Chains A and B, each alone.
Chain A
Amino acid sequence: MVREVSESCVDSLLTEMVACYCNRFYANKPELAARRIEAIGYQVGHQLSERYTMERPRFTDHLEAIKFICKDFWSELFKKQIDNLKTNHRGTFVLQDNKFRWLARMSIDPSTDNVSPLEDITSPTAESKAAQAMSMHLYFPCGIIRGALSNLGIPCAVSADISNLPACSFVVRIKA
Chain B
Amino acid sequence: MQFFGVSEISPSPPAPTASGNNGHMMYVFNRNGVCLLYREWNRPLRTLDAQQDHKLMFGLLFSLKSLTAKMDPTSAVEKGNLGMLQLPGQGCSFHSFCTNTYKLSFMESPSGIKIILVTHPRTGDLRESLKYIYNLYVEYVVKNPLYTPGSPIRCELFNTTLDQYVRGIA
A interface residue numbers (CB < 8 A to B): 8, 11-12, 14-15, 18-19, 105-111, 113-114, 130, 133-134, 137
Contact = CB atoms under 8 A, between A and B. Distances in A.
B143 A108 contact: no
Nearest to A14: B145
Contacts of A8: 143
Contact of A105 (B143, B154, B159): B143
Contacts of B145: 14-15, 18-19, 105-106, 133, 137
Interface of B: 139-140, 143-146, 154-159
A142 to B, nearest CB: 16
A106 B159 contact: no
Contact of B154 (A18, A19, A106, A114): A114
Nearest to B158: A107
B143 A107 contact: no
A109 B159 CA distance: 9
A109 B140 CA distance: 12
The 6 closest A-B pairs by CB, nearest first: A109-B154, A107-B157, A15-B145, A107-B156, A105-B143, A107-B155
A11 B159 contact: no
A146 B155 CA distance: 31
A114 to B, nearest CB: 5
